[in-house]
Every structure is written in structure tokens, then in C-alpha cells.
Amino acid sequence: MATAGTAADEARSEIRELAAARGHPTDNARLALARLERALEDGALQRTAFLAQAIADLQVALTQDEGQRLGGKSGEAARVILRAIVRGLDEA
């Protein structure tokens, strides 16, 4: 059952806005991920199995070695995973 209430609605809205913002997909994904993690920690949203897996996948896509610039495949992976997270927010 999805979390209800003002805090949940605000978190979902903010995450969606961050995901859709102009900018580099990895930057957007980092911002949206940080907001999602805060919402989960605060209890505004509940962690689902899908979100847990998607968060783990997104963290891998955003991982970079020292001196490595993210883009290309990482950017596309972040974009795809973030879209999936946005779709899954209604269940959280």
C-alpha cells in the first residue's frame, strides 16, 4: 500500500521535478536520488522491493572511478533507471 499524505505527495512531486529537470542526466539522477533517500529515511515514502533494486542499480550507474567523467552509457542508464523510479513512486 502506497504512503499517503502531504509529505508523500510533496516528495513524489519533487522527485519527479528533479528527474525531468534540464541538465545532465547523471546530475539530475543524483539530485533525485538524494531526495528519494531523504523521503525514505523520513518515512514520507516507503521502500518497496522495486525501489530498493532501482536505487541500487542507479547507484552503480552513477559510480565513477577517480578522474572518470560520467556520460554516454552512464548517462543513458541513469536516465532509464530514473524513469523507472518515477513510475514506481506511486507504489512507495
pLDDT along the chain (92 residues), means of 10: 84 94 89 96 94 91 61 75 90 77
Helix 73-88 × helix 25-42 angle, to 10°: 30
In a domain, 62, yes or no: yes
In a domain, 1, yes or no: no
Q: Tally the domains of the chain.
A: 1
Q: Which residue has the cell 532509464?
A: 80
In a domain, 57, yes or no: yes
* pLDDT given for residue 1 in this prediction: 55
In a domain, 66, yes or no: yes
| Parent domain of 17 | 6-91
Q: Which residue has the cell 516528495?
A: 11
* pLDDT given for residue 26 in this prediction: 85
Positive or negative torsion for Cα 64, 71, 88, 3: positive
